[in-house]
Structure 1
Amino acid sequence: MDMHHNLASVQTLDPAVTTEARAGAPVDIQGFHGVEHIVAIGASGDSLSETDRLDLVLEASADGSSWEAVSEDGGVLGSVDADGVFASIDAAGKEQSEYRIGYVGSLRYSRIRVVPEGTHDEGTPVAALALLGGADVKPV
């Protein structure tokens, strides 16, 4: 299979130390059949716990401007909770890892949101990209 010519990639969050909520760039899935969001987490400068954590949220939009958390499994490849959270980075063992979630729902745009909960004085390096697959027109 020729993945090189059949996938498109988009950097959605520039690599940066994160102390406040950040939303990734909107990903337009028109012309594709799905998107895989990948979030890379570096070593946190803070002590992560259940109260001091980073939540990764999947959001979708019909127009790219009004966003809602994706809370049903119908358009999700992976699992999300009722608030769209697909990963909570709440311990040192969850740092320096990548987390991913797929979206094949009916809304045209999707993005990830990084939401620090609790105290994050030093921050955590975070970056994200999206892989679009199932292109209607190939090569991409």
Structure 2
Amino acid sequence: MKDIHSGLTVAVAIGNATLSADNTPAAIDLQGYDAAEIILDIGIGGISFSGTNKIEFKLTHSDDDSTYAAVEQKDVLGVTVGTGGIIKALTSAHAAAAAYRAGYKGGKRYLKLLADFSGTHGTGTPIGALVLKGRGFNKPEADQA
């Protein structure tokens, strides 16, 4: 087996929780890394999602951790980016837990991920998100156990 453990660190973008409203996005600092992968971990939908009652995951980036802009298609791998930096939208039934990923190649220092809730969410949806930071300048990376 090849070792990827020594070349990665993990940052929490959205802490594991059952959410029914927008999260407060944490700034993920990518300084010292040349690669990032966003991992979404979404449980069974708490409601019947629709075009009105939905969750959109919006990714933004910044050079200075002050002024953030929505990512564009050229900044992301593996997903189609929607208006406002949407990298995943829950707009129909989400009957089983699933994981999704998107690669970031935009070149900015900071990332933020917002779970943007629209409509009525009387029952929450389990959500978590991580950013894997790779190709770091310090190797091996410190353990995070």
Query: Corresponding residue for 1:60?
Result: 61
Equivalent pair of 2:44/2:95 in contact (CA under 8 Å): no
Classify the secondary structure of the residue corresponding to 1:45: coil
Q: Measure the CA separation in 2 of the matches of 1:119 and 1:43.
A: 16
Query: 1:100: how far off?
Result: 1.7
Mark the runs of 5 or more structure 2 residues left unpaired by the alignment: none
Query: Contact (CA 8 Å) 2:76, 2:103: kept in 1 or not?
Result: yes
The one-character-per-residue Cα deviations of 1:47-69 (angstroms, maximum 9, x if unpaired) are: 11122111111110112232221
Count of residue pairs brought into register by the alignment: 139
Match for residue 26 of structure 1? 27
Q: Indicate conservation of the 8 Å contact 2:44/2:94, yes or no.
A: no
Task: Identify the residue that residue 11 of structure 1 maps to in structure 2.
Answer: 12
The residue that corresponds to 1:114 in the other structure is: 115
SS in 2 for 1:74: helix
Which residue does the alignment assign to 1:40?
41
Match of 2:49, SS? coil
Contact 2:76/2:104 (<8 A) preserved: yes
Percent identity for Structure 1 against Structure 2: 34
Root-mean-square deviation over aligned CA pairs: 1.6
Runs ≥4 residues deviating over 4 A:
none
Q: Report if the CA contact (8 A) 2:45-2:94 is conserved.
A: no
Structure 1 residue 44 displacement after superposition? 2.2
Secondary structure (helix, strand or coil) at the match of 1:122 reads coil
Shift of 1:95: 4.8
Q: Distance in 1 between matches of 2:117 and 2:51?
A: 11
Q: What is the match of residue 135 of structure 2? A: 134
- TM-score (ref. length: structure 1): 0.89
2:120 aligned counterpart, secondary structure: coil
Q: What is the identity, as a one-letter code, of the residue corresponding to 2:89?
A: S
Q: Deviations over 1:53-91 (max 9, x none)?
A: 1111111011223222112x2221233123111111122
